[in-house]
Amino acid sequence: MSSKIITVWGKDNSGKTTFAVNLACALANRDHLVGLISSNLIYGDLQVYFGQSIPPEKGLFRALHEDNPNVGEKFMETGESKNLFFLSVPNHYTGLLCDSVSLQSVERLITASSLLFDILLIDGSGDLTNPISGVGLWLAEKVYTLYRPSASAPMWHKGVEDFVQELHIADKQINVMQTPNGEFDDKTFKSLIELSFKYELPFVKQAGELENAGTPVFFYEDRGCRRYSKVLEKISDELCGGTDKYK
């Protein structure tokens, strides 16, 4: 299978990181080598999801700033899957390095990483100025755009229209709705935003608790988690052409 770059995008608090982490787990479970890169330049959120700690000699900034680095050595292994590796900022504060991240260094990093993995996932940002998210959207073969029903989501969607047009990503977008927990009627939301959603993710009550414990939803055998995972399996079928079998 040829290498693919997939970017997950959406407004902040849309559920995109949860989706990106668990989609990566679903793809790695098919015996594909999967890389996952975070666009968060302030806080290392991916290591929380996997119950890991990133030392200073590894992580995102080392991969971006070292001359001719061995990119693969900067990724961290996950405990749940031998096929899944992630790249995030280290645990200690590195926020002062954010301004030194250039588009050229990000493009070089993503291109080099895509050669190491069967599938490379970018966990994008709602911040339109984020360099990793922007380059990831530009290079992606597919963009899964997450929406959580709310009054502000249609405004975000309207506000990024020019950005989507400028990057020419409209034809690559696949809209995914995170089903709300009774906080906002999904039918009302659909009428407001006037989008069609190819996939709808069920609400998982204990998702936050599992994430804080370092357990991805995909690996938890609970009815709600399994319903969420079934959607991820369908998406994995789409990405892999339906030809691969689970381990």
Compute the residue count for the chain.
Answer: 247
How far the first Cα of the chain sits from its last, in Å, is 17
**What's the one-letter identity of residue 43?**
Y
Q: Which of 2, 10, 6, 12 is nearest to 24 (CA)?
A: 6
Task: Provide the pLDDT for residue 114.
Answer: 94
Task: Provide the pLDDT for residue 244.
Answer: 45
Task: Provide the pLDDT for residue 2.
Answer: 47
Exposure string for 180-192, b = 16+ CB within 10 A, e = fewer: eeeeeeeeebeeb
Cα 66 to Cα 57, 78, 101, 234, 247, distances in angstroms:
11, 23, 12, 38, 37
Structure tokens at 162: 């020019």
* Sign of the alpha-carbon dihedral angle for 207, 213, 218, 220: negative
**What's the one-letter identity of residue 73?**
E
Name the pTM for this structure.
0.92
Task: Provide the pLDDT for residue 68.
Answer: 60
Task: Provide the pLDDT for residue 245.
Answer: 42
Domains and CATH numbers, the chain: 4-240 (3.40.50.300)
**What's the one-letter identity of residue 8?**
V
Cα–Cα dist 125/123, whole Å: 7
pLDDT tens for the chain, residues 1 to 247? 346 999 999 999 899 999 999 999 999 999 899 999 999 998 888 999 999 999 888 999 889 887 666 899 999 999 778 899 999 998 876 666 667 789 999 999 999 999 999 999 999 999 999 999 999 999 999 999 999 998 899 999 999 999 999 999 999 999 999 987 767 788 888 888 989 999 999 999 888 898 888 889 998 988 889 999 999 999 999 898 765 443 3
